[in-house]
Amino acid sequence: MIIDKLFSSFDNYLPLNSAEKHDLVERVIQRKIKRRQFILQENDVCKHYTFVAEGCLKKFQVDDKGTEHNLQFAAEGDWVMEIVSFYSEKPSRVYIEAIEPSIIFQISKPDLYHLFDNNPKFDRNFRVIVENRLVEAENRVLQAISSTAEERYLAFMKQYPHLLSRLPNTQIASYLGITPEFLSKVRKDLFKK
């Protein structure tokens, strides 16, 4: 069953017992998302934490020139949210869009708080999920200011090996902060080595 993928995601932290699984099922919404469908748009308030059971989503920002800047990819087993908007209820600064047809589970803030209040295991699990997103964000900032394009690409390959064949070069290049043409050069140079 597709819900088992959600349950399994917690096995990396504190596994859920049957009562906790039941409570979680009562609080999440399963959605099928089409390719290019948004689950969050800039200036909307992020109302959910989203778990990707199948497919792939991207979180990105669009600059004043209309250029997309990919911030995160979330494929099977990953969580994605715009955390500032979710907790502050301020308008989002980013978009979250499906790159592929996807099946997601979403949990709202009131339901999340219910889980936190009624079972400390959820508080711990979601804290680790948010901490992991913070680590990823800090690594991205450090790479942006101190790594070459080749080093950023190698880090991308390590972080998202399962997405290399699923994402077009334009999406990967946007994530790395380079042009698709320069990404081709980086790949060619790596192949020569």
Position 78 scores a pLDDT of 95
Residues 73 and 104 in one domain: yes
Residues 117 and 23 in one domain: yes
Residues 141 and 179 in one domain: no
Among candidate residues 54, 111, 47, 128, the one with its CA nearest the CA of residue 81? 47
52 contacts: CB under 8 Å, gap ≥ 6: 74, 75, 76, 77, 78, 79, 80, 102, 103, 104
Q: Is the pTM of this model over 0.85?
A: yes
pLDDT in tens, the chain (193 residues): 999 999 999 998 999 999 999 999 999 999 999 999 999 999 999 999 999 999 999 999 999 999 999 999 999 999 999 999 999 999 999 999 999 999 999 999 999 999 999 999 999 999 999 999 999 889 989 988 999 999 999 999 998 899 999 999 999 999 999 999 999 999 988 888 7
Residues 137 and 185 in one domain: no
CA atoms in the 13 A half-sphere facing the CB of 90:
5
Residues 140 and 184 in one domain: no
Domain that holds residue 82: 3-146
Q: Work out how many domains the chain is built from and give that number.
A: 2
Residue found under tokens 């043409």: 181
Residues 87 and 60 in one domain: yes
Residues 33 and 103 in one domain: yes
Q: Rounded to whole angstroms, how far apart are CA atoms 106 and 85?
A: 15
Residues 117 and 185 in one domain: no
Q: Rounded to whole angstroms, how far apart are CA atoms 94 and 102?
A: 19
